[in-house]
Structure 1
Amino acid sequence: MKSTIEVSDKLFELYHRVHRLVNESMRDQGVSLARSKFLFFLSKLGPCRSTDIAEALNFAPRTVTEAIDGLERDKLVLRKPDPEDRRAKIVSITEVGRVVMEAAEHPRKLLIEEIFSALSDEQLDQMHEIVSRLVAKADEIRKRKEDGTVAGETAAE
């Protein structure tokens, strides 16, 4: 039986390999995975402040500002003054940004499909259930930490 550390290490290995492959395939289409996160976010939620982006993506405000600077320079996003706060700017995706994002999304999906084709439908369902449980547990631990609840070691459920 594999230890939890061995399984965790294998999950991290998978994540890093898939991340690298996806990033390379998207970069070939003109946008890195990191930059595409901003474009996907703006495409999904619409125009918003950079502080909203930082909070939603859990990035430092300075990181978001630098990313938006680059995206704006490449004409992928547009900044306009916030009508409710003259100090703030509203960031929105441009039509060029949408085209680049959609072009990068296609190879990403193909790559993910190819990787996960190693699993049967039943295995995919099982993996989804297992990963969902792990995500829920991680969220529970994060909430405890944010609430300042001190907890000892938790037993496997």
Structure 2
Amino acid sequence: MTSPDPDGLLAEQLLRLTRRVHRIQKHHLEQRDVGITPAQSRLLRTLAHYGSPPRMADLAERLEVVPRAVTTLVDGLEAHGKVRRAPDPTNRRVIRIELTEDGHKSLRELHAARRSAAEEILAPLTDEQREVFGTLLDTLMDGVATRRC
């Protein structure tokens, strides 16, 4: 007789949770009619963390994707007026990506959608459980970051 695989069960629970979280976030985005995909949302949030407009290569590195994926995301966001391509003032061959005013507005909507999704996800937990959960998430994320370095 084989013994149960507790890590296998935990892995399955983790995968189910991440799929559920993704569906809830997507639902909240759709309710607010922001009109962008989760991947585009991630790019907008990443753009907002730069002090000055980054290059596409900078975004690809930060998002850990191939440059072509960033080009596709930027094309879609630019078509909807959320970002614009701007020439680098010191090197005309370099193109930088800037948030537009509509992009900033979308970021505010994204933040509100993510907040309401988090409230829905965390609703079953007590304050104490939320604190423990937050600590566990930090531990997991720190472990992932350490292994990638």
Q: How would you bin the TM-score normalised by the shorter chain?
A: 0.7 to 0.9
RMSD: 1.8
- 1:21 paired with 2:24, answer yes
Q: Distance in 2 between matches of 1:2 and 1:129?
A: 25
Say yes or no: does 1:36 pair with 2:27: no
CA distance in 2, matches of 1:51, 1:135: 24
Question: In structure 2, what is the equivalent of residue 90 of structure 1?
Answer: 96
Structure 2 CA distance for partners of 1:123 and 1:2, relative to 1, 3 Å: farther
Match of 1:6 in 2: 9
CA deviations 1:115-142 (Å, max 9, x no partner) are: 1011111111111222222222222322
Check conservation: 1:31, 1:104, Cα contact below 8 A: no
Deviates more, 1:18-27 or 1:54-63: 18-27
In structure 1, how many angstroms separate the alpha carbons of the residues matched to 2:147 and 2:39? Answer: 26
Match 1:106 to one of 108, 112, 126: 112
Of residues 48-57 and 77-86 in structure 1, the stretch that sits farther from structure 2 once superposed is 77-86
Residue 94 of structure 2 aligns to a residue whose secondary structure is: strand
Q: Which residue of 2 aligns with 1:153?
A: none
Following superposition, the deviation at residue 20 of structure 1 comes to 1.9
- The answer to whether 1:79 aligns with 2:85 is yes
On the 8 A contact 1:81/1:88 being kept in 2, the answer is yes
Structure 1 segments unaligned to the other structure (5+ residues) = 144-157
What count of residue pairs does the alignment treat as equivalent? 143
More strand by share: 1
Q: Which range moves more in the overlay, 35-44 or 72-81?
A: 35-44
Query: Residue 148 of structure 2 corresponds to which residue in structure 1?
Result: 142
Cα pair 1:29 1:104 within 8 Å, conserved? yes
**Residue deviations 1:28-77 (CA, integer Å, cap 9, x gap):** 33222211111112222141111111111111100001110111111110
Amino acid at match of 2:70: V
Gaps of 5+ in 2: none
- 1:2 deviates by 7.3
Q: So what's the TM-score if we normalise by structure 1?
A: 0.82
Q: Is the 8 A contact 2:28 2:116 kept in 1?
A: no
Give the match's secondary structure for 1:87. coil
Q: State the secondary structure of the residue aligned to 2:9.
A: helix
TM-score (norm 2): 0.86
